[in-house]
Amino acid sequence: MATIFTKIIRGEIPSYKVAEDENYYAFLDINPMAEGHTLVVPKKEVDYIFDLDPDTLGGMMRFAQQAAGKIKNAMGCKRVAVVVLGLEVPHAHIHLIPLNRESDIDFRKPKLKLSPERFTEIADKIAGAQ
């Protein structure tokens, strides 16, 4: 059965897309730790990130680097944190999280609740950034 992220990539489940190419897809996390919290996924469906073949993993990092640049410019944060957990969805993914201070990264904190309009606004801003 396809993972939820494969369904998102195929457009069977809606997402707030920020970037896409032939092999990778980036979209806003629906339970964001900060505005602009983005997930980067390979279109190839592999559960554990370090089971990806080296070329796909390398390409995923390059794609994430470009997405992180857009997030930084769009959200005006100091840096973009890179986190890999992957315990919830069995499809390799990288969290890119706008970062201004270390305490911004805390997965136990309550997640932000954003309106669909705000998610759309943020996704469009990131997608349109340099």
Q: Which stretch binds ligand AMP (CB under 6 A): 43-51, 84-92, 98-106, 121-129?
A: 84-92
85 in contact with ligand AMP (CB under 6 A): yes
* Nearest to 94, CA basis, from 38, 24, 44: 38
- 2-41 residues in contact with ligand AMP (CB under 6 A) are 4, 13, 15, 29-31, 39
* Nearest to 37, CA basis, from 16, 66, 63: 16
89 in contact with ligand AMP (CB under 6 A): yes
Instruction: Give me 73's structure tokens.
Output: 């410019």
93 included as an active-site residue: yes
82 in contact with ligand AMP (CB under 6 A): no
Instruction: Give me 54's structure tokens.
Output: 């080296």
